[in-house]
Chains A and B, each alone.
Chain A
Amino acid sequence: MSDAVKQEEHAGIGPRRLPAASICCAIGWLGLLLAVGLFGPWLAPYDHTAIDLLDRLAPPIGFGGSLSHPLGTDELGRDLLSRLLVSIQMSVLIACGATLLGAVLGTLLGFLAAHMRGTVEQIILALVDFQATMPFLILALAILAFIGNSLPIFMGLLALHGWERYARIARGLALGANAQGYAGAVWQLGASPVRIYLFHILPNVMATLIVSMTIAFPEIVLVESGLSFLGLGVQPPATSLGSMVGYGRDYLASAPWILIIPAATISTMALSVSLLGDWLRDRFERTGLR
């Protein structure tokens, strides 16, 4: 059942080496997004909630727009460039935070399962199976419905996405290392479990975990933007790329740029991380780090 996902991860992505140019573009674009994520609000020319009813639905430069609003304005006359910068910050923050949290949680549980064995391991494996069986969006919606929404809850919720993959990888590799491998050897030297997992197993599984993170990151971006698009994610006055698309859909006919600009940002962000992940995987496979 859950093997499908795993095998897709392992086999589904083309083993070819991608041209270096696309990788450079992807890294450059991600760097830019990260910079915006760090400094976005200070770069924004306007406050992202400032309303200017006299200048509503202004088109971007090149489509009859003016320099005062380079990307145009929305239905309330809010500057789209400022909103985009703030939204990128929100989306990058949520996606990075959730990816990291998920990786830490999953790896910890995987190591715990490998170390404790027995009942603890069976419980963790049952949870892994459950998580892999259920589509994440449905679980997320159920939790939002029952518990309600706030930014910390939302981020913690997204961190639950994909933890089972890290757990599975971490457990599998730790078991292998413990059985006859280097971890078993260090164990019989008298090393404490913390030392074994932190100094030996973790560095050895890091490459695989990083590749998994590049798979999880775009998925989290998509889930976040999807929920925000449905109006169930980031709540106003905060804004994310998904909620910008959600507001833009009402002006699809009259002002399509409101929708196209954040939509293009989401897609290129997810695409860049995917390309980067493929490339990293190729490199790790070649250097035998996996």
Chain B
Amino acid sequence: MTGIPLIEARDLIKTYGSRRRLIGESHPVYAVNGVSLKLARGETLGLVGESGCGKSTLGRLILGLEIADSGSVEFDGSPLARAGSAEWRRSRARMQMVFQDPLSALDRLLPIAAQIREPLIIHKFGSQAQMNKRVGDLLNAVGLTAAQGRRLPGELSGGQRQRAVLARALATSPDLLVCDEPTSALDMLIQAQVLDLFAEIQSASGVAILFISHDLRALRRVSDRVAVMYLGSIVEEGPAKQVLEAPRHPYTQALISSVPGVGGLSPNRILLRGEPPSPTQRRPGCAFQPRCAGAVHACNHTAPTLLPVSNPSHRVACHLLHPGGEPASIARPVA
């Protein structure tokens, strides 16, 4: 964890214009709104937030699949090349993605072994024999047999497909893996197996993982650190144990209290009022203010910044926790 981080993103902003309107003004959607984050080698960062909060976009920005409106991403100390350029294509050997829906990420007409082989061909891995051996090792590493490797994606189960996608992503021994909700299309039992596989792969290969999910239990299983996103911004970030067991931001607290334990939902869980505000209508101040039970005056006009609380590695963006705000009062349950 020393030296330059593997990934350093600064002040990323990505908007999507509502396209093709002849009449009426267009409101850009702020998918990612001023996000900075660092990822060290071999570290797993869990990124959590509700649907539409911009976490997938952030993952694509970090991989250079999309270009940010402003801000920068540095990979291993140098900025990413433009998407689609020859240099960018070469850099793909070092950073890979695992998709939410493995069936649509795989070519239905090719046996999975051929698809696992594809990055090796693209990045000129070596001779045919070397590639054959590598494909065999990869299948083995993700728990697939050689016979399964000869099957088409449609002939495999969801979990096996996701293993194939993972094997393809790992083929060139990348330094970074961005996993976009890799388990949400799988059923519970298979989810657990695939999550264990992720942990196993990481300890064996030392790959850094950005694990995007809305499933807190999945995150708890794999993450070293956790970042919580709300409406395009990171509101809390820190060691997984601290963030998940002692959350400080009112949104994180609500999010975590909503996860059912073994005995069902906790009786004093925090219910949020209303829907998340539309990302097209930006307002000054804290994005969470309209739904926050403890909002103070400052929340209306000043956007809070990520500042350390108690432990320097645990940072929260909330006026309630920082000088200038009022003493940290935990959001009260709303009846």
A189 vs B94: C-alpha distance when bound (angstroms): 10
Distance to closest chain A CB from B19 (angstroms): 11
Interface size on A, residues (CB 8 A): 16
A195 vs B65: C-alpha distance when bound (angstroms): 18
Measured between beta carbons, the chain B residues less than 8 angstroms from A195 are: 122
Distance to closest chain B CB from A197 (angstroms): 13
Give per-residue flags for A156-197: 1 if the beta carbon is below 8 A from chain B beta carbons, else 0: 000000000000000000000000111011101111100100
Decide yes or no whether A148 CB sits under 8 A from chain B. Answer: no
A180 touches B104 (CB 8 A): yes
* Interface residue SS majority, chain A: helix
Give per-residue flags for B92-127: 1 if the beta carbon is below 8 A from chain A beta carbons, else 0: 110011010100111111100000001100110000
In this complex, the member of B93, B99, B123 whose beta carbon has the largest number of chain A beta carbons within 10 angstroms is: B99
Decide yes or no whether A256 CB sits under 8 A from chain B. Answer: no
B107 touches A189 (CB 8 A): no
Decide yes or no whether B241 CB sits under 8 A from chain A. Answer: no
Distance to closest chain A CB from B59 (angstroms): 11
A192 vs B85: C-alpha distance when bound (angstroms): 9
A186 touches B118 (CB 8 A): yes
A190 touches B107 (CB 8 A): no
A182 touches B118 (CB 8 A): no
A185 touches B106 (CB 8 A): yes
A186 vs B115: C-alpha distance when bound (angstroms): 9
Measured between beta carbons, the chain B residues less than 8 angstroms from A191 are: 89, 118, 122
Distance to closest chain A CB from B262 (angstroms): 35
Contact of A182 among B97, B106, B122 (CB under 8 A): B106
A84 vs B107: C-alpha distance when bound (angstroms): 47
Decide yes or no whether A231 CB sits under 8 A from chain B. Answer: no
Query: With A189-B122, A190-B119, A190-B123 in contact, do A182 and B104 touch (Cβ < 8 Å)?
Result: yes
**Shortest Cβ distance from A189 into B: residue:** B119
Measured between beta carbons, the chain A residues less than 8 angstroms from B63 are: 188
* Interface residue SS majority, chain B: helix
A186 touches B107 (CB 8 A): yes
A189 vs B172: C-alpha distance when bound (angstroms): 10
Interface size on B, residues (CB 8 A): 26
Measured between beta carbons, the chain B residues less than 8 angstroms from A182 are: 104-108
A184 vs B104: C-alpha distance when bound (angstroms): 10
Query: With A180-B104, A181-B104, A195-B122 in contact, do A188 and B109 touch (Cβ < 8 Å)?
Result: no
In this complex, the member of A182, A186, A192, A288 whose beta carbon has the largest number of chain B beta carbons within 10 angstroms is: A182
B93 touches A190 (CB 8 A): yes
A195 vs B123: C-alpha distance when bound (angstroms): 13
Decide yes or no whether A56 CB sits under 8 A from chain B. Answer: no
Give per-residue flags for B118-143: 1 if the beta carbon is below 8 A from chain A beta carbons, else 0: 11001100000000000000000000
A185 touches B99 (CB 8 A): yes
**Shortest Cβ distance from B94 into A: residue:** A190
Distance to closest chain A CB from B80 (angstroms): 13
A189 touches B168 (CB 8 A): yes
A288 vs B89: C-alpha distance when bound (angstroms): 32
Measured between beta carbons, the chain B residues less than 8 angstroms from A185 are: 97, 99, 105-106, 165
Contact of B65 among A181, A188, A192, A288 (CB under 8 A): A188
Decide yes or no whether B90 CB sits under 8 A from chain A. Answer: yes
A145 vs B47: C-alpha distance when bound (angstroms): 66
Contact of A188 among B92, B106, B110 (CB under 8 A): B92
Interface residues of B in 141-185 (CB under 8 A from A): 154, 165, 168
In this complex, the member of B89, B91, B101 whose beta carbon has the largest number of chain A beta carbons within 10 angstroms is: B89
Known: A186-B118, A204-B107. 7 other contacts (CB 8 A): A180-B99, A180-B101, A184-B105, A185-B165, A188-B97, A200-B110, A288-B154
The contact sample of 25 A-B pairs, CB cut-off 8 A, is A180-B101, A180-B104, A180-B105, A181-B104, A182-B106, A182-B107, A182-B108, A184-B105, A185-B97, A185-B106, A185-B165, A186-B107, A189-B122, A190-B90, A190-B91, A190-B93, A190-B119, A190-B122, A191-B118, A191-B122, A192-B89, A200-B110, A203-B107, A204-B107, A204-B109
> Chain B residues in contact with chain A, CB under 8 A?
63, 65, 88-93, 96-97, 99, 101, 104-110, 118-119, 122-123, 154, 165, 168
> Chain A residues in contact with chain B, CB under 8 A?
180-182, 184-186, 188-192, 195, 200, 203-204, 288
